[in-house]
Structure 1
Amino acid sequence: MKYKLILVFLSMASLAVAQKPLFPQHPGLVSYTYRDYLSKDVPGTLDKIKDLGFTDMEFSGLFGKTAAELRALLDERGIKCSSFGVSYNDFVNKTEEVAQNAKTLGAQYVRVAGIPHKSALTLEEAQKAVADFNRIGKLLKEQYGLGFIYHEHGFEFQPYQDGTLYDYIVKNTDPRYVSLELDIMWAFFPGQDPAALLSKYGHRYKALHLKDLKKGVKGDLSGGTNQDNDVVLGTGQIDIPAVLKAAKKAGVEHYYIEDESTHVMEQVPQSLAYLKSLKQ
């Protein structure tokens, strides 16, 4: 009888482990998701975001506020800004202003999404980006105590040698000063496997943009697609559970939902519910 009880207990314990949430922490949100609303009403939109349960955000702009004004609004609602996204031009030419704004916001990272290029990304353009990332990433770290993360946008996956220019960028940037943010849709769109990238480059990834691509849409290396091709997580083409498992193993710190569509009011709550429903 005692052995039967032990077996029952072990079975229940195994079931509990099996039902552990795949996504145990609260996801973050990219401000660009609610850009149309934040541009008109920052406090009201932040209230809606907080009501959904978000307490971690990556801001891609200040939406007409100073960094101090935005920080005050976030503090009032118990929301933190963990990453501050800026343009490549500001990153290079307004580094001090960018750093001061990031510090005021309380951000851990400064983020850049994209590299200036004329058509298809070239090796020369990638080399310039590597030099800028290493130089300014070091400055941000040593002078301001900020990390730097690069967010790919799909066009970096141009073939190069036995890999891609994205591989070139990752391998030639100094991991002490340059980390990565994986936008899983902009990895999938040009034909990459986001889970495989997370496994390949592991701890280099500090953050994710969680988004899904509408079924039937074919990708390319352009770095662009219709904004309404962003769909509710779990309803598109990307294997979200596989991505989350790989991200957990890689030690990703921040998971931001990003939805660029015109249906964010309906889609974001559904994406959030989907993430909370996942078990491992």
Structure 2
Amino acid sequence: MKKYTIILSACLALGSSVFAQSGKPLFTNAIGVQAYTFRSSMPKATVAVLDTIKALGITELEGEGSKDMPKEQFKKLCDERGIKIPSVGAGYDDIVKDPQAVVKLAKTLGASYVMVAWIPHKKEFTLEDAKKAVADFNRVGKILKENGLTFCYHSHGYEFGKYGDGTLFDYIAKNTDPRYVSFEIDILWSFHGGQDPAQLINKYPSRMKLMHLKDIRKGVANDLTGGTDTRNDVALGTGQINIPEVLKAAKKAGIKHYFIEDESPSYSKQLPVTIAYIKSLKN
């Protein structure tokens, strides 16, 4: 992993020179990363991955670590490197069946947010799927709130199918209780589902608490599948999404936690470019 860290550091230096601009920084929040980015290496080399995250200047992590490592140990390793865990993920079925277990997980890792990234459904996401999710989210969101946690649903693209004058996402947003249900906007999946992420944030500013920073390869068409080839994940600023406009909307909405999520096999090369791009953006 030493070689891996050196490569990342070299790319970061290169990225900084490529994206250098003048003016006041647009992005002033802590830089976070979604642990899923390291899904192939985290289980085998947790310590080395955390060292790499630290070397990149990333100070926030969304995730629970390796399944084989006790959560207390994972938190200790993160603490030793100055990495905070503001948010953890939970499977839909897991949180519906045993929300208290999810509460315990979040408390153990010191998280304030719990996000669910997928609503089970068949090929097409329907109104009935949305109605069930609304009921489940309101119930578990209330339980999390009573335990000092914020529940967030992570958009995935398929929720933007048309419904009435809007979308099924609008239905979920309007029928969930704002006291108990918030959102984590994944800008790639929102865009891939046919939305303008900046406009979506502007539409629901008080509901958007977290963000996944991602970009999608130029030329990739939008659809409602909630899926695309992982090679279509590209470094921020090199794809189709207007990142400065998204970050301006997010800043106005008061989003505090941003997690880079790069599902591409080339994430080790792309992460430093993404970080340098974010730091280069000016008002």
Q: Normalising by structure 2, what TM-score?
A: 0.91
Q: Which of 244, 257, 272 is residue 275 of structure 2 equivalent to?
A: 272
Does the 8 Å CA contact 1:58/1:81 hold for their aligned counterparts? yes
Does the 8 Å CA contact 1:61/1:86 hold for their aligned counterparts? no
For CA contacts below 8 A with separation 6 or more, give which structure has more relative contact order.
Answer: 2
Matched, 1:191 2:197: no
Does the 8 Å CA contact 1:61/1:84 hold for their aligned counterparts? no
SS in structure 2 opposite 1:116? coil
What runs of 5+ residues in structure 1 fail to find an aligned partner? Answer: 1-17
**How far apart, CA to CA, are the structure 2 residues paired with 1:27 and 1:72?**
20
SS in structure 1 opposite 2:206? helix
**How far apart, CA to CA, are the structure 1 residues paired with 2:30 and 2:97?**
35
Which amino acid is 1:22 matched to?
L
Moved over 3 A (4+): 60-63
**How far apart, CA to CA, are the structure 2 residues paired with 1:64 and 1:36?**
14
Does the 8 Å CA contact 2:42/2:65 hold for their aligned counterparts? no
**How far apart, CA to CA, are the structure 2 residues paired with 1:235 and 1:194?**
16
Does the 8 Å CA contact 2:41/2:49 hold for their aligned counterparts? yes
What runs of 5+ residues in structure 2 fail to find an aligned partner? Answer: 1-21
**Higher share of residues assigned helix:** 1
1:63-100 per-residue CA deviation (whole Å, 9 max, x = no partner) reads 42121111111111111100000110111112111110
Which amino acid is 1:253 matched to?
K
Partner of 1:244 in structure 2?
Answer: 247
1:111-151 per-residue CA deviation (whole Å, 9 max, x = no partner) reads 10011111211111100100000001001111x21110110
**How far apart, CA to CA, are the structure 2 residues paired with 1:237 and 1:63?**
35
Does the 8 Å CA contact 1:181/1:206 hold for their aligned counterparts? yes
Partner of 1:8 in structure 2?
Answer: none
1:30-73 per-residue CA deviation (whole Å, 9 max, x = no partner) reads 00011111011111110000110011110055442121111111
1:172-215 per-residue CA deviation (whole Å, 9 max, x = no partner) reads 11111111000000000021100000100001000110000000
Which amino acid is 1:74 matched to?
C
Distance 1:61 1:79, change over 3 A: closer
Which amino acid is 2:271 matched to?
V
Partner of 1:176 in structure 2?
Answer: 179
Larger Rg: 1
Q: Normalising by structure 1, what TM-score?
A: 0.92
RMSD (Å), alpha carbons: 1.0
Question: How many percent of aligned residue pairs carry the same amino acid?
Answer: 57
SS in structure 1 opposite 2:123? coil
